Structure 1
Amino acid sequence: MKKWLVVLIFLILATTSIFVGVNEVTVSGLMEGNPMQWFLLAKTRIPRTISLILAGGMLSISGRIMQHFMQNKFVSANTIGMMDSARLGILVVMLFYPTGSSLMKAFVAFLFSYVGVLLFLSLSRLLPKGDSLILPLAGVMFGNVISAIAIFFAYHYQLIQNMSAWLQGNFATVMEGSYELIYLTVPVVIVLYVLGYQITVAGLGEELSTSLGMNYQRLQFATFAFVALGNSSVLLMIGTIPFLGVVVPNLISLFYGDHLKNTLGVTLIFGSTFLLFCDILARVVIAPYEVPVSVVMGIIGGALFLFLLVRGRRL
């Protein structure tokens, strides 16, 4: 697929996202100065579309970088315990400082997710090599243990409803004044792009990158810190989006190759495009009601994941 075609589809879907919803927003209505349509455009449609673009790009780039760094095609924030650790961090804030700001929740979620991924990186060194599924399976089990701890305390302190909100990604509640924390993903993406060449070299392996004069451990810690920060902000604002961080990087590798630095841009756009498509579908499939985008992503992403899994096994 040509890169210009991906950009064109992205622009079409981003524009469509602004005009799709329960309440009518049309080009003619905006040109006529309809106050209600302008209100909806500014308060909900534009914030929602921006959130979709930033969240899709952040999760996709994170998955691409983690897969490259760990040399495993099935690694993502959801398969190494990062998101489960972040949810535990948010729960801790709600237990001990329930009036804490969104920024504070994001910071604590970042700390927990970063510690969680560092623990898993240490654990991964003990796992047998050779089977690409061992690492993500171990990560899923690691994340389930953390998730079980969080759910136990959520039930104990009657916070399970709040917990459920983080488990289900949904953009329906995104409004002006309540979504701006997701802009943290912008500097994170910029930094990761700047580090793109070094991460590309690091993906060749610790021994080779060290022999080339690179401080592999320091780069790994810094990279995963930025990934944890970006993913934590998405989790806090939107919730969990399954499969996106696994499927999009694999499709990018399939169409454009494995060179990380040269494909970060198209990964960003493709991930945003994919999430925009799923969210628009979630809004129209049983209109005027709306399905959480995580459900649509789970169906489409799950089917693509199975395809990639079977294809990888055959190769």
Structure 2
Amino acid sequence: MAGGSLLMLLDDISVILDDVSAMTKVAAKKTTGVLADDLALNAEQVSGVKASRELPVVWAVAKGSFVNKLIIVPAALLISAVYPPLVTFLLMCGGLYLAYEGAEKVIHRFWPHLLPHDEEQNARLQANAENVDLVALEKQKIKGAIRTDFILSAEIIVIALGSAVASGATLMQKGLVLSIIAVAITVGIYGLVAGIVKIDDAGLHMMDKEGDFKQKVGEILFTAAPKLMKFLSIAGTLAMFLVGGGILVHGIGFLQDGVEDLAHLTGIFESVTTALLNGVIGFIIGAAVVAIFTIIGKIRGDNGASSAH
């Protein structure tokens, strides 16, 4: 009897694990687009760090990302069980933040006179000029990367949760699926980021090796590294609009309907058109938020100046 019960228990566990495995695969497929954006954003976030500090910064952000997941996974399960609409609201807040951050970067890059001075850039230039330690600036960059990771991680977890719910998962199955996704994406994303930021070092190492082929490959890697980082910097900013805009569009009924109707007209390019429209809407909303904060800041500044007189 005891042997039969054990076999039945093992069989139940096997069935549960099979179901979890299938649900995890489905959830992973649905989050592929966000994962690509997550990779670009995180690689962009650690750009500009001294070569000797690249891996420590990536590791610090990765640890922060694990902490984010430890908060997000239980919170997502709890909120979805208690009050599901709150998940959508929180995602909308995150999407708005991404759109705002992306718009601020673009405006600082192309129309810097429209905004207050870039404090981070000025701090970096001053630190380099004075040849001082950049620890404080590095900590600021890490905090920013972890903050952005929190928003992207929340979207990935919510998408995975929605996929598990659609599959009729139990609470335990949902927890397992989200835990697997959380660990896998953190290890995968930051493992790739660590590899990307050290491509130039790998190129230098190969250039010192004997053999024309190895030296040629090393030269290609070393030359390509800064170009790749520049591309990822651009891609990371675009990802803020694509992800942020996508969240906002999906959360606002008439925007989603309008985007779907316009994208449908483009036929085989429907998915590309949808992404582009999401990005444009993300930039417009983000720019509007930047304008609002800038105006509020100027009003406060004027009031402060008046008070001083």
TM-score (norm 1): 0.30
Specify the structure having the higher radius of gyration (Cα). 2
Q: Which has the higher helix share?
A: 2
TM-score (norm 2): 0.30
